[in-house]
Amino acid sequence: MLNVSNISFSYQEKPTINSISFELERGKNMAIIGESGCGKSTLLKLIYGLYDLDEGQLFWNDTEVLGPKYNLIPGMDFMKYLAQDFDLMPFITVAENVGKYLSNFYPEQKNERVAELLAIVEMTEYANIKAKNLSGGQMQRVALARVLALEPEVLLLDEPFSHIDNFRKNSLRRKLFGYLKEKQITTIFATHDSSDVLSFADDVLVMKDGKIIDEGSPKNIYDNPKNKYIASLFGDVNEIEIDGKTALVYPNQLMIVEKSKLNVVVTNAYFLGNHYLIEAIHNNKNIFFESEVEVSIGSEIYLRKKP
């Protein structure tokens, strides 16, 4: 189990990470979400041991995670950390990058392991291509394979799919997180993509200004956001008065009806494949809702929250 107990850290005088505590069981996936600059990347680096804590302690099982003051080479051997810069060697091949830290004593087993990892990240056909000739998304996939090569106990990923094309991202996520579950690799990943969180995380930390402001299952946090900031991390959200109370409502939670107290005037319609995202005005405020059919701009529509 990973135990993070009341940790704080400052780059300057202002705390970047402020009194954060949480636990994560072996084999679980945890997502960290929040606006840019909230401290997600710094928290991952602290967990890996790249910085010294100002306060608090970090333990993986009975082993304390310590920073550069205690380790000649920062970082813990049983963990792997994938930063946003990938750190590949440009003049060697994809296969050589993935197998860089694998033993050469059993070359056949090494080649099999590299082939397995390249299949997971869908880079098999690029095995003999030099890294310098890859796109940003391809480099990111190779970097993912490399951090898995020695099968860490704990994997820390900072925006692991940020450079990868949408058409490939879904397949890659399913393969990667399926592999991590199968191998019981404890994973913490920072992301801005709500699909990463809702589909693949067992637990979620929501951060703002270096603090955890909410924690729980993805479904519970999505269904019951404590405030508009948290709800907005999952996409568009409306702040609507319902029965005299202000409620946070996602576009997919609104439906068109013949008559209601919530009347809007349509200003835009965005086609999203199986539905339209409709933008409208209500009391000088923007309202977003979904419709299975196109709605004419300028038309007056009545809405209510789905039961």
Same domain, 246 and 222: no
Say which DSSP state 105 is in.
S
Paired sense of beta strands 300-305 and 15-24, if any:
unpaired
Same domain, 177 and 280: no
**Total tally of structural domains belonging to the chain:** 2
Same domain, 15 and 83: yes
Same domain, 220 and 199: yes
End position of a domain, from candidates 199, 228, 257: 228
Same domain, 62 and 153: yes
Same domain, 300 and 189: no
End position of a domain, from candidates 204, 228, 252: 228
Q: What is the pLDDT of residue 241?
A: 85
Same domain, 131 and 268: no
CATH number at residue 243: 2.40.50.140
What is the residue range of 87's domain?
Answer: 2-228
Q: For 101-118, what is each residue's pLDDT tens digit?
A: 888 888 889 999 999 999
Mean pLDDT value across the chain: 93
End position of a domain, from candidates 187, 204, 228: 228
Confidence of residue 224 (pLDDT cuts 50, 70, 90): very high
Q: What is the pTM of this model?
A: 0.91
CATH number at residue 148: 3.40.50.300
Same domain, 198 and 271: no
Same domain, 11 and 130: yes
| Alpha-helical segments (H) within the chain | 40-48, 94-98, 107-120, 136-148, 166-182, 194-200, 218-223, 228-232
Q: Which helix (H) or strand (E) holds 188?
A: strand 186-190
| pLDDT value at 180 more than 90 | yes
Give me 188's structure tokens. Answer: 């913490």
> Which residues does 30 contact at the CB level (< 8 Å), separation at least 6?
22, 24, 187, 188, 189, 201, 202, 203, 204, 205
Residue 10, number of CB atoms within 10 A of its CB: 15
Same domain, 97 and 154: yes
Q: What is the pLDDT of residue 203?
A: 97
Residue 169 main-chain phi, psi, to 5 deg: -60, -45
Using the CB atoms, write b or e for 112-138: b if 16+ within 10 Å.
Answer: ebbeebbebbbbeebbeebbeebeebb
Give me 32's structure tokens. Answer: 């960290």
Q: For 260-269, what is each residue's pLDDT tens digit?
A: 989 999 999 9
| pLDDT value at 306 more than 80 | yes
Say which DSSP state 269 is in.
E
Confidence of residue 146 (pLDDT cuts 50, 70, 90): very high
Residue 271, number of CB atoms within 10 A of its CB: 9
Confidence of residue 72 (pLDDT cuts 50, 70, 90): confident
| pLDDT value at 243 more than 80 | no
Same domain, 192 and 148: yes
| From 101-115, 151-165, 250-264, the region with the lowest mean pLDDT | 101-115
The whole-angstrom separation of Cα 70 and Cα 52 is: 9
